[in-house]
Amino acid sequence: MTALSRRESPTVQAPAYKMPPGVLDGPVAPTMLRLAVPTTLVLVVQTLVGVAETYFVGFLGTEALAGVALVFPMLMLMQMMANGGIGGGVSSAVARTLGAKRREDAEALIWHAVVLACAFGLLFTAAAFLAGPTLYRAMGGAGPTLTAALTYSGVVFAGSIPVWVTALLSSALRGAGNVTVPALVISSGTALLIILSPALIFGWGPFPRLGVAGGGAAVVIYYLFAALALMLYLRSSKSLLKLRIVPLRTRLFKDIMGVGLLSAIGTIQVNLTVTFVTAAVGRFGADAIAGYGIASRLDYIQIPLIFGLGTAMVTMVGHNIGAGQMARARRVAWIGASLAFGMTEFIGLAAAIFPQAWIGLFSDDPRVLAMGTLYLRTVAPVYGAVGLGLALYFASQGAKRVLFPVLAGTVRMIVAAFIGWSAVAWFGAGLSTLFQITALAAVSYGLLTAAAMIGGAWGRHAIHRSLSWKSPAE
C-alpha cells in the first residue's frame, strides 16, 4: 500500500469504538448540551478573537477596517463551507456509518476527508488570487481600502489548505462524538492567535510591523498548528478512529458529498447574500461599509453558537438514522431548533436595544456608529428566525435530507441579495429599506425551513430513499 499505512503494526488493535452515551436513548437535551458546550464555548472564544483582530486593525484607520470588511464575506464563505458545508457531510457520513456499526468505513472516510480538504483548499487559493481584485472592486473597494483588502486577502488565502484540513478532521471527530479534542486544539490555537495577531500587525518585539498583512499571517500560522495537531492525534494510540491512507472509493466520496455538496451550496447562498448586501452598502461610502461590517460581525456570533449545537445535532441525528430510530432523530431536531431560537433571539434583542454597546467597541466615528446602529435595530430582532433555520439545517445534514433547507436558503438569497441590491442600485432605496429587506429574508428562511420539517421532508420513506447503504465489498 503506502508508507503511512505500512507503519501500522498488524498486531496493534485500535481501542473499541463506544457509542457516545445518551445518543441513542435517554434524555435528549442533556446529551445534546454535553456534546455542544465544548464546541460552542471554544468557537465563541475564537469568534471573539476575530473581533479582537478587527479591534486591532481599527487602529490602522477606517480604510484598513473597510478593506478587511470587504474580505470578510469570502473568508467566511471558506470557513462556513469547510465547517458547516463539506464538514457537515463528513460529520454526517461518519455518524451514520458508526450508527450502522461500520467502523472500517468510518476510518476510511477520514482519509477521504483529507483528500477533499486539499482539493478545496487549492480551489479557494486560486479563486482568491484570480477573482479577488474584481470582487473587492465590485463591492465598493477603491484606493487605500482596496489596497488593504488585497493585502489581507493575499496572505490569509495562501493558507487555505490548513483551514480545510483543520475543519474536516474536526468534523470527522465530532461525527464520532469526540468533541473534546477539536475543542482543545482550537483553544490552544486561539491563545497563539491572540498573541500573534497584534504582534504582527504592530511589530511588537522581534516581529516586523506588517499592518493588515500581519492579521492574515497570524490566521495562517494558527491553522497550520491546528491541522498538524489533529493529524498527530488521529495517528496516535489515544484516538478511537485512525487516520490511514487507504484506496480511494467512489462510494465514500458520494457519502460525504451527498450531504456536503448541497450543504456547500447553502453556505455559498449565505455568503452571496452577505456579498450582495455589502456591495449595496458600498454605494453609500467607506463609512457605511465600516459601520455595516462591524454590525454584521454580530450576525456571525450566531454561527459558532449554532455550529456547536448543530454539530451535536448532526452526531445525534446521524447515529439515530444509522440505527433506524427515525422518531428519536426528529425529536432531536426539534429540541435543538428550540434551543437555537432562544439563544439567537436573546442576542438579537439585546443588540437592538443596546446597539452602541457593540458598535462603540470598534469605532467612535459618528457616521460609522449611525450606520451600524441602523442595521442592528432593523435586522437583529429577527436573529431567532436565522437560528431556527440553521439548527434545522444541521439536523437535516445528519439525516441526509438537506435539499429543503437549501431551497429555503435560496429564497433568503433572492430576497436579501437580489431584491435588496436591486432596490438600492436601480430604484434608489436607502440603507433603511435595504436592511428591512434583509430582515424579511431572514424571517422567510426560518419559516420555510420549519415548514419543510412539518410538511414531511423527514418522512420515514423519504429518509430511506435518501440512504443507500452498501456493503464494504461493493
pLDDT tens across 462-471, in order? 444 444 444 3
The grid coordinates of residue 230 equal 489533529
Residue 313 CA to residue 175 CA, distance in Å, equals 10
Q: For 86-90, what is the mean pLDDT? A: 88
The answer to whether residue 96 is domain-embedded is yes
Q: For 307-328, what is the mean pLDDT? A: 84
Q: Give exposure, 64-77, as e/b (b: 16+ Cβ within 10 Å).
A: bbbbbbbbbbbbbb
Residue 55 CA to residue 202 CA, distance in Å, equals 12
The answer to whether residue 473 is domain-embedded is no
Residue 63 CA to residue 281 CA, distance in Å, equals 15
What pLDDT sits at residue 46?
64
Question: Which among 151, 162, 149 is positioned nearest to 193, based on CA atoms?
Answer: 162
Could you give the C-alpha distances from 168 to 82, 87, 260, 426, in angstroms and in order? 7, 5, 11, 41
Q: Are 342 and 467 in contact (CB under 8 A)?
A: no
Question: Which among 458, 327, 334, 337 is positioned nearest to 403, based on CA atoms?
Answer: 458
The answer to whether residue 19 is domain-embedded is no
The per-residue pLDDT of the chain, averaged, comes to 82
What pLDDT sits at residue 315?
84
- Looking from the CA of 294 toward its CB, the CA atoms found within 13 Å total 35
Q: For 137-165, what is the mean pLDDT? A: 88
Q: Are 101 and 82 in contact (CB under 8 A)?
A: no
Q: What is the pTM of this model?
A: 0.73
Q: Are 362 and 55 in contact (CB under 8 A)?
A: yes
What pLDDT sits at residue 172?
92
Look at 32 and 457; give whichever has higher pLDDT. 32
Domain count, the chain: 1
Question: What does the pLDDT look like over 348-404, one tens digit per residue?
Answer: 999 999 988 888 877 777 888 888 889 999 999 999 999 999 899 888 888 888 888
Q: For 71-87, what is the mean pLDDT? A: 82
Question: What does the pLDDT look like over 416-440, one tens digit per residue?
Answer: 888 988 888 898 888 889 999 999 9
The answer to whether residue 13 is domain-embedded is no
Give the N- to C-terminal CA distance of the chain in Å, as an integer: 20
The answer to whether residue 112 is domain-embedded is yes
Q: Are 335 and 32 in contact (CB under 8 A)?
A: yes
Whether the predicted pLDDT of 121 surpasses 90? yes
The answer to whether residue 180 is domain-embedded is yes
The answer to whether residue 191 is domain-embedded is yes
What is the span of the domain harbouring residue 155? 26-462
Three state DSSP letters for 269-320? HHHHHHHHHHHHHHCCCHHHHHHHHHHHHHHHHHHHHHHHHHHHHHHHHHHH
Whether the predicted pLDDT of 406 surpasses 80? yes
Whether the predicted pLDDT of 12 surpasses 50? no
The answer to whether residue 346 is domain-embedded is yes
Query: Where residue 49 falls among pLDDT bands split at 50, 70, 90?
Result: low
Q: Are 181 and 121 in contact (CB under 8 A)?
A: no
